[in-house]
Structure 1
Amino acid sequence: MITVTLLTPMVLVLGLGLSGLLSPLQAFRMRRRLTVLAPLAVVPAVLLAVVAGPGTAAASLEVPWLLFGAYFAVDLYARPLLLIAALLYGAALLGISWIKLRDTERGSGALSAFLLLSFTGNIGTYLAADVASFYLSFALMSFSAAGLVIHYRTAAAQRATKVYLVMSVLSETAILAALILVTSAGGFLLADAGHAAGTAHTGLIQGLLIFGFGVKAGTVPLHVWLPLAHPAAPPAASAVLSGAMVKAGLIGWLRFLPEGATAGAVLLALALAGAFAAVVLGVLQRDPKVILAYSTISQMGFITVLIAVGLMLPELQPATSAAAVVYAIHHGLAKGALFLGVPVVKHYARGRTGILVLLGMLGAGLAVAGAPLTSGAFGKYVSKEAVSGIEVLGVGLDTLLPLVATGSTLLLLRFAVVLFRTERDPRRRADGELYSWLGVCAAGILVPWLIGARWVTDPVQAEGVAVPSWEPSTLWDATWPILLGVLLAALTWAAARREWLPDRLTDAETAVIPPGDLLLAEESLLRRARRDGGRTLDGAHRLITAAAQRWGTAFSAAAQRGRHGVSWTEARLSGWESTGLVLVVLLTVVTAATMLLVGRSS
């Protein structure tokens, strides 16, 4: 079954590519049919996740003739993430399959093809049980995603794609170097990756993996590609970028990152910085998809805190890893629903479908904020229990992490305001865009609970994660962070009404801090380095040229003097030819006479 799961989307991509050999009309018809069929490519993955539990016969695949031998398996972490990825990619493919091809697509089916390629790589990272298969799947996913970001070919899309590719290449390089060290220290299979801990290169491996997977996970300060890629990409692509692809960084850490207090402390500091700094940056944005991108950075910071605690305290790692997976499942579906909902609000937020759209977006937003009885509250409850008793600078993480929900509330309120102001483009009939969004909303209500309670277990105790009992104290713990966020938003609104805030903060057109935030400073430093570096190189070139000219002049003068000296010597010696011959004859006669005299005397 794993074979069918991996090959089905690749067969459709092959068909889309080979359609170029047909006549233009036939190629268009074939691509259109394959695009409509593309959502079915995720069905084998859904069946695999549902049927093939860890340890079953269908849960593993060995291909000994491929590369160094390829191994794939459905394990505790792969199974839930596989299902979420299949649902999100299926919704994204369905959302674009029923929409008329835009002029910019030229009937090529390119968006569907890149989604299918990304899907194959994405689920490959979850299923891979050896280092080579994992790396190749990760690379396929990363570079295929560039086709999603560049899709509209606008100036913003081109810039976002350049930034994304640069970050991806740096990420892939770091991951490849780290995996080579992991393989040399442990083994080729993922089950042997833990042997890399305690070796001479453990610190280097930790640093490379934190950087490499941190790029994909949107870890601050490696997050700069996310706020640029999301507004540039189509909403369907943004849904899988935020809901599924960033989780590849999470699975990479779970698979390979060696435990260690120092690495855990560094990752914890970066995670907390991202969880809270992204809120400040996000509420100053003017694009709904950019706001959601910063929300993803904040939420991934929350998940990364769990990974960091597991590194620092290995005895807690089973619980923190399970909590991270549960939260990732919730976030993937809820955030995917919000991204897919951006065009749905634009097209269907009026008339008979208006109430339905309002309820769906409200439900997804409450889930992201962690409101009581939602999947978000479940994820936050499990996470809080996993880190209970852990303190940072004297403050307990179980007290600090709920404040992330306060930040999420502020971001979602800002998102609602900006989205309400966007122009509407009503459609008369419902299509795949609306239906796929409704499917993700429904899945977001039920699936995280089912997976969290039945699939995600503690590997040590073989018990499911704790499900909240919804006692008054539990309900209050899930409510007060949201109320605090609403209060802060109300105070900010009141200050804006009284004109107590700077005009720049209340400008509805221009973002106070452009998307990419730190990227602007980095680009400025690069431009300055290139400018100053160019001046330095020019000066060095001039110095080298002047020195070379002086050396050439001195060498020419010395050579000229040498030639004059040789000529003068030759001239003098040419006049001594006869004199020299006479001297040679005289010396010969004297030598012969001396030898004769010596011989007689002896």
Structure 2
Amino acid sequence: MITALALLLPLSVVTVIAVAGMFPAQARHRVRRSAAIFAPLAVLPAAALSFTEPGSRAAGLEVEWLLLGSSFALDELARPLVLIAALLYGAALMSISWLKLRDAERGSGTLSAFLLVCFTGNIGTYLAADVVSFYLFFTLMSFSAAGLVMHYRTAAARRATRIYLVMSVLAETAILAGLLMLASQMTTLALGDVPAAVAGSPHRGLIIALLLAGFAVKAGTMPLHVWLPLAHPAAPPAASAVLSGAMVKTGLVGWLRFLDGGDTEPVTAVTAVTVAGWVLLISALAGAFLAVALGVLQQDPKVVLAYSTISQMGFIAAVVSVGLIEPRYAEVTTAAAVIYAVHHGLAKGALFLGVPVAKHYGRGATGVLVAIGVSGAALAVAGAPLTSGAFSKYVSKEAVEAVSVLGVGLDAVLPFVATGSTALLLRFGWVLWRAEREPRRGVDGELLSWLLVVAAGIAVPWWIGVQWMPLGTPDWDAGVLWDAIWPILLGAGLGALAVLLVRRGTLPDAVAQADGTVIQPGDLVVAEEGALRWVSRTAGRGLDTAHRLAGASVAAPARWLTRAAETFRRAAGAADRRLVPWEASGAVLLVILAVALAAGVLGRWLT
């Protein structure tokens, strides 16, 4: 019952907002505004569901008439992610609808509706217990998110939406192809039968490749990350918070649900999964570090946070890849990846929601509170001691000790991701501090929702890690504290060095200004768009040339046929003129012959 309510209540609010379009203008605005104000409460059943016992009857749902028979269940993987999604979407909905200024967000009904549809798809993906339901809700979330990116309808929003949709269609196609091949090997469509089906499929290598790539798009794994830096600055901050905090985690869930080699799989199947693990690890490390170099050259705080998300998701993907390379460690790497996703979702959500909060409340009495909250969330992302980030990085480091990269243990490589995060967040703080301010009087949902996420980011990851996950907490001895501090100090040192070089004029002006002109948001897609324009221009010129050549090649025979036709017409005319006398003579001859024939017949008849 709770599961059904968690999925249906948000869609019911969306239905009210949609049906209100048939009302007169004044009533339509009032109904949609009322529905938007109620919208944050629609996530409460999902939050309550996360506190039920995983695998219990109350946490499951069977819908035999839906599709091929749909089933939903709360398990240890879905439980914490459902709670985080409820917190983030609830806060996002509060920030756009619980405003003191009556006309501050006229489009809140529409935006609230898209957020609720995305929320349904998001938690449906976590809760789905069969292949078809998983794909249905994953697709629902993916395509409804285009409404979040397009919300402001600016040129940048339209461009970002086009690129997002192209990437989403490619991802959905790859996932659908992989799932269709996978389903052909399954006696049932339950997700629990997936590992055996992957192992027994003659196309297991192709299935794994398709699913790996398809989910990598949603997870923002490099080089399939290009939609993220474009979507975040185009979308409202509330949408960015759920895009980065919750939606990208469905890519993580896809990997964990479908790329499970298992200890008992045949050697060939494990080899296929192992290869996928190494590919994922290389892509993850590339994203974790290259995103830093790209992000520090941006001037929009939301773009900087987008590259930070790519870097952090690279960290999570690296942890997941260890479970693929060494399946015997899959349980601990899954737990570490999930707790890191919980921490990152809340901390990054607080930073995205903090962008408008700093703009509206970053001065005066509330300025100190905003500075503390944003700094605390940033320190958590960097992994400062005693924060949820330090806890998540500690358990992740313990989980990846079994794998080495070029002879260096992965547990020695991943701490440098925190160094990059520190540099990115220093850049974020700098551009946010220099941004324009639009003070707002009084306290409303925007500030309250942000404070809710900040408070949840402090306590919830620790509580989930201790109560719901099989993870040990750090002892916080000198060694553990130093392991958490030195990457941040190194990142701060690099930031100070960059400032010093800028002041001395050592760096090139374009790099020193970091105005986004050296590396534009979307990085690879900018070069791809340029290449496509060149191909288009070149192809256009080639088609014009072909058209001219074709015209010339057709014109010569046409002229010859025209001359031949004209010659034939003239010859026919002359012949016709010559035959006119023959026609008269022929007629006379026929008359004479007819008279002679008639006379002969008559004479024979008379005799």
**Is this contact kept in 2: 1:91–1:436, CA < 8 A?**
yes
Distance in 2, matches of 1:178 and 1:2, equals 28
Aligned to 2:508: 502
Query: 1:284 is paired with a residue of what secondary structure?
Result: coil
- 1:407-460: per-residue Cα shift (whole Å, max 9, x none)? 00000111111100011111110100010000001100111111112212xxxx
- 1:48-95: per-residue Cα shift (whole Å, max 9, x none)? 0012x2121112111111111011010111111000000000000011
Distance in 1, matches of 2:473 and 2:490, equals 25
Decide whether aligned partners of structure 1 residues 520 and 77 sit closer, same or farther in structure 2, where only a CA change above 3 A counts.
same
Residue number among 234, 242, 251 corresponding to 2:253 in the alignment: 251
Decide whether aligned partners of structure 1 residues 502 and 401 sit closer, same or farther in structure 2, where only a CA change above 3 A counts.
same
Residue number among 317, 320, 324 corresponding to 2:337 in the alignment: 324
Aligned to 2:73: 73
Q: Does residue 400 of structure 2 align to residue 394 of structure 1?
A: no
Pairs within 5 Å for 1:312-391? 312-391=325-404
**Is this contact kept in 2: 1:129–1:190, CA < 8 A?**
yes
Q: Does residue 302 of structure 2 align to residue 301 of structure 1?
A: no
Aligned to 2:529: 523
Query: Which stretch of the first structure deviates more once superposed, 536-545 or 485-494?
Result: 536-545
TM-score for the superposition, normalised by structure 1: 0.89
Q: Does residue 490 of structure 2 align to residue 477 of structure 1?
A: no
Post-superposition offset of 1:103: 7.3
Counterpart residue type for residue 520 of structure 2: P
Aligned to 2:459: 446
Aligned to 1:270: 283
Aligned to 1:43: 44
Structure 1: 5+ residue stretches without partners = 457-463, 564-602
Aligned to 1:56: 56
Decide whether aligned partners of structure 1 residues 189 and 541 sit closer, same or farther in structure 2, where only a CA change above 3 A counts.
farther
Aligned to 1:31: 32
Counterpart residue type for residue 43 of structure 1: L
**Is this contact kept in 1: 2:298–2:515, CA < 8 A?**
no
Distance in 2, matches of 1:551 and 1:211, equals 54
Decide whether aligned partners of structure 1 residues 488 and 182 sit closer, same or farther in structure 2, where only a CA change above 3 A counts.
same
Counterpart residue type for residue 431 of structure 2: V
Counterpart residue type for residue 363 of structure 1: G
Residue number among 281, 294, 300 corresponding to 1:287 in the alignment: 300
Query: 2:184 is paired with a residue of what secondary structure?
Result: helix
Post-superposition offset of 1:561: 12
> What value does the CA root-mean-square deviation take over the aligned residues?
2.7
Aligned to 1:238: 240
Query: 1:72 is paired with a residue of what secondary structure?
Result: strand
Distance in 2, matches of 1:49 and 1:101, equals 34
Decide whether aligned partners of structure 1 residues 511 and 536 sit closer, same or farther in structure 2, where only a CA change above 3 A counts.
closer
Query: 2:71 is paired with a residue of what secondary structure?
Result: strand
Post-superposition offset of 1:536: 2.5
Distance in 2, matches of 1:349 and 1:395, equals 44
Pairs within 5 Å for 1:554-569? none
Aligned to 1:203: 205
Query: 1:358 is paired with a residue of what secondary structure?
Result: helix
Counterpart residue type for residue 279 of structure 1: V
Counterpart residue type for residue 211 of structure 2: L
Distance in 2, matches of 1:499 and 1:549, equals 66
Query: Which stretch of the first structure deviates more once superposed, 274-283 or 257-266?
Result: 257-266
Query: 1:469 is paired with a residue of what secondary structure?
Result: coil
Decide whether aligned partners of structure 1 residues 357 and 546 sit closer, same or farther in structure 2, where only a CA change above 3 A counts.
same
Decide whether aligned partners of structure 1 residues 540 and 257 sit closer, same or farther in structure 2, where only a CA change above 3 A counts.
farther
Post-superposition offset of 1:138: 0.9
Pairs within 5 Å for 1:113-192? 113-186=113-186, 187-192=188-193
Query: 2:49 is paired with a residue of what secondary structure?
Result: helix
Counterpart residue type for residue 86 of structure 2: A
- 1:79-138: per-residue Cα shift (whole Å, max 9, x none)? 110000000000000111123689796556111000001100111100111111111111
Decide whether aligned partners of structure 1 residues 205 and 549 sit closer, same or farther in structure 2, where only a CA change above 3 A counts.
farther
Aligned to 1:12: 13
Post-superposition offset of 1:197: 2.7
Post-superposition offset of 1:511: 4.1
Aligned to 1:599: none
Distance in 2, matches of 1:191 and 1:551, equals 70
Distance in 1, matches of 2:289 and 2:102, equals 39
Aligned to 1:493: 499
Query: 2:507 is paired with a residue of what secondary structure?
Result: coil
Post-superposition offset of 1:553: 7.6
**Is this contact kept in 2: 1:32–1:107, CA < 8 A?**
no
Post-superposition offset of 1:174: 1.0
**Is this contact kept in 1: 2:292–2:424, CA < 8 A?**
yes
Decide whether aligned partners of structure 1 residues 100 and 535 sit closer, same or farther in structure 2, where only a CA change above 3 A counts.
farther
**Is this contact kept in 1: 2:4–2:61, CA < 8 A?**
yes
Counterpart residue type for residue 32 of structure 1: R
- 1:259-317: per-residue Cα shift (whole Å, max 9, x none)? 42211111111100000000000001001110000000000000001121111111111
Query: 1:50 is paired with a residue of what secondary structure?
Result: coil
Distance in 1, matches of 2:83 and 2:298, equals 32
Counterpart residue type for residue 475 of structure 2: S
Distance in 1, matches of 2:516 and 2:337, equals 36
**Is this contact kept in 2: 1:197–1:258, CA < 8 A?**
no
- 1:356-376: per-residue Cα shift (whole Å, max 9, x none)? 111111110110000111110
**Is this contact kept in 2: 1:206–1:258, CA < 8 A?**
no
**Is this contact kept in 2: 1:407–1:485, CA < 8 A?**
yes
Distance in 1, matches of 2:558 and 2:533, equals 36
Distance in 2, matches of 1:5 and 1:108, equals 22
Distance in 1, matches of 2:320 and 2:464, equals 20
Distance in 1, matches of 2:232 and 2:10, equals 24
**Is this contact kept in 2: 1:28–1:108, CA < 8 A?**
no
**Is this contact kept in 2: 1:118–1:144, CA < 8 A?**
yes
Identity percentage of aligned residues: 63
Distance in 2, matches of 1:318 and 1:68, equals 30
Decide whether aligned partners of structure 1 residues 400 and 106 sit closer, same or farther in structure 2, where only a CA change above 3 A counts.
same
Query: 1:109 is paired with a residue of what secondary structure?
Result: helix
**Is this contact kept in 1: 2:297–2:516, CA < 8 A?**
no
TM-score for the superposition, normalised by structure 2: 0.88
Decide whether aligned partners of structure 1 residues 276 and 108 sit closer, same or farther in structure 2, where only a CA change above 3 A counts.
closer
Structure 2: 5+ residue stretches without partners = 262-272, 570-607
Aligned to 1:534: 540
**Is this contact kept in 2: 1:78–1:127, CA < 8 A?**
yes
Query: Which stretch of the first structure deviates more once superposed, 418-427 or 250-259?
Result: 250-259
Post-superposition offset of 1:493: 1.0
